[in-house]
Structure formats: C-alpha cells, structure tokens
Structure 1
Amino acid sequence: MMRCGVIGLGDMGSGLAKNLVKAGFPTSGFDLIPARTAALADLGGTPMQNGAEVGAASDVVYVMVMTGAEVRDVILGKGGLLETMAPGGTVILTATIKPADAREIGAALNGTGLRMIDSPVSGGYPGAQGGTLTMMAAGAPDLLDACAPVMEAVSANIHRVGEVIGEGQTVKACLQSLLGAMFSATFEAAALAAKAGVPGQVILDVFSTSSGGCGVVNNALEKIIDRQFEGTGSHINTMHKDLTISMALGEELGVPLHTAAAAMQIFTAGRTKYPNGDNWICTRVIEEIVGAELHRKAAK
C-alpha cells in the first residue's frame, strides 16, 4: 500500500486527504494554517509539523498550494520534498500554476530519483470533497500507471493529456479561460434580470433547462439568488489567479483572449471590492452599479 501525503489542506487539499484515507491509503499532511493540519486527524490522517515530515513519510505526495512560488518552495526549497522523499518517490502537482513554472520544476527533478506528475484538477470544492475531480495528467506513462490507484481515489475522470511536465497546466489554462468567461456572462445576465425585475427562481428554471444550462451556470445562479457570496469553497482569489495564468499563456503564444480579458477585469473588480468573497461576489459589484439585486423570489 502506497503511503500518501498532502501538502496544502484547504478546501481542495482536505478533500484529497479525505478521499485518500477513505480509499485505505495511509495519509499524512501539512498546511501552514495549524487548524487545517489538526483537522486531518478527524479525517483519519496523520498531521505533520511541516512539509519535510510529510515527504519523509510518503511514497506519493500531492501538492495543492496556491502559487508557483509556493510549489517551488515545497518541492525544491530547504527541507522540501526533493531533500526529504526517498528515491523513487512521486510528486503529484495538483495546484494550478504557470506551465513555464511547472516545466522548470520538473526539469529540476530530472536525475534526482524523484519523479513528478503534472495534474491540475477541475471540479472545485464539491469535486474535491466528493472524490470526483477531473484530472489533467501529464507524465511518463509508466508513472501514471503506477500512480493510478492514488489518483483514482480522488478523481472520477483522469485524462492523460501528455507526457511532458507543463502540458497538464497548459490544458488547465485553456479550461480556465473558458470558465472565466462563463462565470462572467452569468454574473452579467443575473444583474440584467435583477434590473428587469425577473425573479431569480425564474431565471434559474429557464437557464438550467435551456441550451445555456450547465453545471457552471446553474451552480453560480444558485449561489447568486440565495446570496451565498462567502464560504462556498470557491474563493475569488483562486479564479483570479487562474485567469492571470490563462492571460499570460495567451500573451506568450500571441493568442488574443478577448472574453478572458473581460472576465479578468470583472474578477479584478470583485476581488478589489470584496477580497474575502467567492466567485459569485462579482455579481454584487455589477448589481451595485445598476441598483438591483437578484433574489430567488422577487421583492414585494
């Protein structure tokens, strides 16, 4: 049985740990926020004092932190996984970072005895907690085969998108450019309905059964009409960061991303006005401009 570790135990990482434990894998973990680390014990895992202890206790470590700089420090920094994991260990990078950063980190591991799978995920908080994430996995075929059990424990869909580190992050950047545009269009449509006096339930019923209905739109509308703008597991900082990665990739490749750029500005406005909010908080910024709010029931 492979020993697993998770570094970064927030909304996403805690779900990874939960489902690894559920699948029977001995799982340790660490987060910079002590309460998150301590909560791992309630899930059946083993809290560690730092990432170095996680590395020393694990054959496979999931890295689910926020930025490329944090990933670099966790893997290559002092006391990082490169120093503490035994030769033959595997790092599964599930954080979303710039493809170029993933390539550099992967290159630094060449010849060290430590191997890496580049596999950002999609599915958000529900997918992480429910073990139904979609993984965009890039890595050597034999390594993907060997790690299939620990990946299947957290994912319902594992797509092998390439063999080169960075290719997983590239696919994720393309996906986020689409999701950002879908979110932003939903926020604008919600504000339009609010100003027109249409009840939120009507909009949800129609949108969810129309050609425009999908999980992204339906979930966003549910949160908007119930005014659930914080604590839903989809913090605005994450999507904002992901859009900066998509935009940077577009700039690098010379691809104009008009709708993603508009989404970037909407998320920037939401993040500036409501830094503690979730993605749906962007709707409030637009609502404040037009002077109307979308609720499940129309105001009497």
Structure 2
Amino acid sequence: MIRDEPKQRLVAEGGIAAATNAEVGEGADVVFVMVVNDEHVRDVLFGENGLIETLRPGAAVILTATIGKQQAQDIAARLSGKGIHMIDSGVSGGLPGANAGTLTLMASGPKAVFDENLDVLRAVGDENGIFHVGEEIGAGQVVKACMQALVGVTFQGTFEALVLGAKAGVKAEVLLDVLGSSVVGSTLFKRTTSFVIDRDFVDTGSHIAVTWKDLGLTLDLAREAAVPMPSTALANQLFQTGKTMFPGEDNWAIVKVLEQMADTIVTSDKA
C-alpha cells in the first residue's frame, strides 16, 4: 500500500509523486527500497505494478531493508535474470540519520556496481560512513545482523542499568552524565537514556517490532552458522515481551518491562 501522507510531504519538498511502484521505475537508473521486511520488498519489486515491470536492464536496486542473507540473495538472483543490478546495503542511524542524510551504509555486491552508484549512496549516507563490505550479495545483511546483536545487548544493558539505579536511589540524569562520559557512553546509550528520562515511548522512529524482527534475523543467521549467541537471544526475548506488552510503542518502552519486574520507575529531575 502506498500511503498518501509521505507522498504529500515529498511533493511539498519539490519531489514528484508516483501512483504505483512501476511508475517509480519508469526511466529510473537507481531505486532505493527501504521497507520493513522481506514480504514488503517482494511486493514492491515483484507484486502488482512492481518495479520489475518497468526497470530497464542495467538499472540498480539499492536494498536497504534488513531481511536476511538468503532472502537478499534470492531477490538479487531474480533481478539479475532481468539484467537489473542490486546493492545489498543495510543501514544504521535511525530517524535522525535518515532525516540528516547521515546514515551508515554497509553495502555489498560487485564493486563496480557500488562505485557506479556511490554518488547516489552519498545522498543518504555519511561521507565517512559508506562501506563496501563484500563482493557477494548478502554480506551487507551479515554485517547488519552483527550490528543488531550489539544493538540488542546494548539496549538490554542500558535498561537494566537504569532500573538498577532507580531502585537503588540514583536518578537517571546522573547515570546519563556519568556513564555517558565513560567508555560505555555510546550514542545509543545516550539517546536511549534521554528518551527514557522524557518518558517518550511513541512515534520516535524506532519501533519495538522492527528491532525484535531484526534480532530474530540475527539469531536465524546464528543458527545457520552454528554460533552460540546467548546474550542476543535474551535480548530478543526481552523485546518479545515488550512487543507483547506495548505493541504500539518504541524501543525505549522496553524499560517498562524491567520497571514492572523490579517494582520501580526510572526517575529524573523532570519527574
């Protein structure tokens, strides 16, 4: 389904709206496909009025959705049958990075295709954050899966630390200031803690269900590669719990799961 509101915003910014995916592909040299899951990707590309109907041989699809290694390879093979190139490029940076055009890109596929489309990648990616991670389609998915493992356990550790501090009588701003200036003071820690302090759990651009899906794909790859990932598995279960309890909310809402378990609330000077 093509939503009307984003189309209106595009037009307001000087863009040209299209009625169908096929219309987007008409005359296009490169098309970004940035959707949630494998089903959405296949619908955009191969569904009714899909891009496959109009993209010319030699055009490129830049796939930024996190869908898994095998799925990306299957889609690339199908596009290749029509003479269409694909760059498999996971992204990181969230809503702020997307809005600023400073996403980190982990692109895989033939280097020649990557080089040919580098200027297009620079339109959405940070100049120092665009990486060619391998010639084989799917390598981008693998790098993103590794990143999501670290994201998941960082979320889990952040929530646990905040709840421990709250239960033991330390306000969240103190943890933000001290831990944020320490070796563990990542951008993710600081951003997550700020949202928790503000109790801002809805419409922040980072939904629980997406992270839960991504962690599931990481664990799928771990099973395929016979790699034990106990911390990631626990983070996935925590997100499963949060998705069940707070299905319409964003990642930061997971803290409420641990708050309920510990019978406390992460407090701040704003409270």
8 Å contact from structure 1 (residues 65, 71) kept in 2: yes
The equivalent residue for 1:83 is 53
Matches within 5 A, 1:207-246: 207-246=179-218
1:277-292 matches, cutoff 5 A: 277-292=249-264
Q: Tell me, in whole angstroms, the C-alpha distance in 2 between the residues paired with 1:64 and 1:298.
A: 36
1:34 is displaced (CA, Å) by: 1.8
Match of 1:52 in 2: 22
- Paired with 2:79 and 2:9, the residues of 1 have a C-alpha distance of 31
Which residue of the partner structure matches residue 203 of structure 1? 175
Task: Choose the corresponding residue for 2:137, options 151, 165, 181.
Answer: 165
- Asked if residue 71 in structure 1 is aligned to residue 41 in structure 2, the reply is yes
Distance 1:53 1:297, change over 3 A: same
Provide TM-score, normalisation by structure 2.
0.96
Q: Shift in Å at residue 118 of structure 1?
A: 0.4
Contact 1:138 1:165 in 2 (8 A): yes
- Once the two structures are superposed, the pairs formed by residues 125-274 of structure 1 within 5 Å of their partners are 125-156=95-126, 157-274=129-246
- In the alignment, the residues of structure 1 paired with residue 54 and residue 214 of structure 2 have an alpha-carbon distance, to the nearest angstrom, of 29
> What's the CA shift for 1:227?
0.8
Q: Where does structure 1 differ by over 2 angstroms across 4 or more consecutive aligned residues?
A: 76-79
Any unmatched runs of 5+ in structure 1? Answer: 1-30
Report the count of equivalent residues. Answer: 269
What residue is the counterpart of 1:4 in the other structure?
none
Q: CA RMSD in A?
A: 1.3
Q: Does the CA contact (< 8 Å) of 1:227 and 1:295 recur in 2? A: no
Q: Deviations over 1:225-253 (max 9, x none)?
A: 11111111111111111001001000111
Contact 2:207-2:249 within 8 A present in 1 as well: yes
Decide whether the 8 Å contact of 1:128 with 1:154 is kept in 2.
yes
Q: Give the equivalent residue in structure 2 for 1:39.
A: 9
The alpha-carbon deviation at position 200 of structure 1 amounts to: 1.1
C-alpha separation in 1, matches of 2:226 and 2:167: 38
SS in 2 for 1:74: helix
Q: In the alignment, which residue of structure 1 is the partner of 2:67?
A: 97
In structure 1, distance between residues paired with 2:197 and 2:27? 46
The AA in structure 2 aligned to 1:138 is S
On the 8 A contact 1:229/1:277 being kept in 2, the answer is yes
CA contact (8 A) 1:243 1:260 kept: yes
The one-letter code matched in structure 1 to 2:167 is: K
Aligned-partner Cα distance in 2 for 1:264–1:111: 36
8 Å CA contact 1:226, 1:295 repeated in 2: no
Code of the residue aligned with 2:66 in structure 1: it is T
Q: Is the 8 A contact 1:199 1:298 kept in 2?
A: no
**How far is the alpha carbon of 1:57 from its aligned partner?**
4.1
62-71 vs 81-90, greater mean Cα deviation: 81-90
Task: Output the CA distance in 2 between the equivalents of 1:135 and 1:42.
Answer: 27
Distance 1:232 1:251 in 2: 32
Kindly indicate whether the alpha-carbon contact (under 8 Å) linking 2:20 and 2:50 is maintained by their aligned counterparts in 1: no
Report how far residue 298 of structure 1 moved.
7.7
Q: Deviations over 1:236-276 (max 9, x none)?
A: 11111100100100011111110000100111111111111
Q: How far did residue 101 of structure 1 move?
A: 0.3
What amino acid is aligned across from residue 36 of structure 1 in structure 2?
P
**Is the aligned partner of 1:110 residue 2:80?**
yes
